[in-house]
């Protein structure tokens, strides 16, 4: 195994991104694509709206007032044409009758038997003697059939799902990395508080929530004891479960029960990153198996694991999805931040203020942060503008 030891932070991110070959696109039913990334431009199947429809409840009218009300049109009805001086009650979203001039909304009309005229609340420009042409959604005003409504690389968010459905799509071509999470450590609990020398696993739940925000589908988390043979079996099982990436937590250092390096070597993996010059999170790694599938080893401390997510996992998944390298933000520090001369420091901040409770094993500071500041080696002064990384769900 060939390793780049203590790789500079920015170089480690570039290495992870370059290690990813975009996944083959998959055609999936629309409702199964939430969180995935579109693999190609998507064109509308239909005009949107497909026909002229009422934008408000009211009356569809033809010609100048007064109008004689001759019926009603509800959403889903196929209306007949109107003659001059006629109107029909119409519901929002209903098809506009052929030859109708427009819709007079309900609160603007005055009905006396079958005779309808503009009421006192009707604006002067609508009250004019000519035809009414307002409150109509015209066919194709949002898009025309064949027009690209979402481009390749767009995440399939709930609004995107709604748009694609409205545009007539039943399935789309997407990319979505499947990530297996292996949580290593005999000392970890999966329920209840820490007790009897054992601690609650925080990284497994954190990753299970974080990875979908990157567009990945999650397998696990799966627990794995601190034994080399168990780790080898778990790694093989994760790959058999069609994982595109395997993520491990812990076992990235060289301690007495840290078996990840040996298991990867036995599997014929090529180590691309073995240690990153970053605090917290120095002992993180990236390896590529003989079948080209990557393994990301995150440190076992929670905030250190988050450092590995930002450094290796986020750019790797972007590459698998065929997306550009994730972009960083800029933040102005409200307080000075010290950093060693050899390593980048990742610091949770809120409004530029470094958060307390930000040790390698802590998540309290990160949970209250709105970004993670990237402080260069040597530190930064109050008022300095530095690179920053966005947290899921934060803007």
Round to whole Å and give the CA distance between 356 and 369: 10
103, 60 contact by CB (below 8 A):
yes
The confidence score (pLDDT) of residue 4 equals 42
Q: Which candidate, 38, 28, 26, 22, places its Cα nearest to that of 150?
A: 38
The confidence score (pLDDT) of residue 256 equals 85
Opening angle at CA 143, ends 393 and 79, nearest 5? 120
SS3 content of the chain, % helix, strand, coil (to 5): 20, 30, 45
Round to whole Å and give the CA distance between 279 and 392: 21
Helix (H, G, I), strand (E, B) or coil at 152: coil
Round to whole Å and give the CA distance between 172 and 41: 10
The confidence score (pLDDT) of residue 51 equals 96
The confidence score (pLDDT) of residue 395 equals 55
The confidence score (pLDDT) of residue 129 equals 56
Round to whole Å and give the CA distance between 8 and 129: 75
The confidence score (pLDDT) of residue 7 equals 96
Round to whole Å and give the CA distance between 57 and 70: 16
Set out the domains of the chain in order of their start, with CATH numbers: 5-23+177-320 (3.40.980.10), 53-137 (2.170.190.11), 329-390 (2.40.340)
The confidence score (pLDDT) of residue 3 equals 43
Alpha-carbon torsion angle 351, 354, 359, 363, nearest 10: -10
The confidence score (pLDDT) of residue 10 equals 97
Q: For strand 178-184 and strand 245-249, is the pairing parallel, antiparallel, or unpaired?
A: parallel
Q: Which candidate, 180, 208, 202, places its Cα nearest to that of 190?
A: 202
Regions in the chain scoring below 70 on pLDDT:
1-5, 127-133, 394-395
């Amino acid at each position: 195994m060939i390793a780049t030891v203590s790789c500079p932070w920015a170089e480690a991110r570039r290495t992870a991104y370059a290690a990813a070959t975009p996944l083959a696109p998959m055609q999936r039913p629309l409702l199964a694509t939430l969180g995935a990334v579109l693999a190609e431009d998507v064109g509308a199947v239909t005009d949107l709206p497909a026909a002229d429809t009422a934008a408000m409840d009211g009356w569809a009218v033809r010609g100048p007032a007064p109008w004689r009300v001759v019926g009603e049109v509800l959403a889903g009805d196929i209306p007949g044409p109107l003659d001059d001086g006629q109107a029909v009650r119409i519901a929002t979203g209903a098809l506009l009758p052929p030859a109708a001039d427009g819709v007079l909304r309900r609160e603007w009309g005055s009905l006396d038997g079958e005779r309808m005229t503009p009421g006192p609340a009707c604006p002067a420009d609508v009250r004019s003697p000519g035809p009414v042409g307002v409150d109509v959604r015209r066919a194709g005003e949002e898009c025309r059939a064949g027009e690209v409504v979402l481009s390749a690389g767009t995440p399939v968010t709930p609004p995107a799902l709604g748009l694609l459905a409205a545009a007539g799509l039943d399935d789309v071509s997407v990319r979505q990395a499947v990530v297996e999470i292996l949580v290593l450590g005999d000392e970890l609990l999966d329920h209840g508080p820490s007790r009897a020398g054992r601690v609650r696993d925080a990284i497994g739940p954190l990753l299970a929530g974080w990875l979908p925000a990157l567009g990945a589908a999650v397998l696990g988390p799966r627990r794995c004891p601190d034994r080399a043979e168990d780790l080898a079996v778990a790694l093989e099982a994760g790959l058999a479960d069609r994982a595109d990436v395997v993520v491990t937590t812990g076992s990235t250092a060289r301690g007495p029960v840290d078996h990840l390096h040996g298991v990867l070597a036995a599997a014929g993996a090529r180590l691309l990153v073995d240690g990153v010059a970053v605090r917290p999170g120095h002992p993180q790694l990236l390896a590529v198996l003989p079948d080209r599938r990557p393994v990301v080893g995150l440190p076992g401390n929670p905030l250190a694991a988050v450092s590995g997510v930002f450094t290796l996992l986020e750019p790797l998944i972007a590459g698998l999805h065929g997306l550009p390298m994730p972009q960083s933000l800029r933040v102005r520090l409200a307080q000075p931040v010290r950093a060693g001369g050899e390593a980048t420091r990742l610091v949770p901040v809120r409004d530029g203020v470094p958060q307390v409770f930000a040790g390698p094993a802590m998540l309290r500071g990160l949970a209250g942060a709105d970004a993670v500041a990237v402080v260069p080696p040597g530190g930064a002064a109050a008022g300095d503008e530095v690179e920053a990384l966005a947290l899921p769900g934060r803007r």
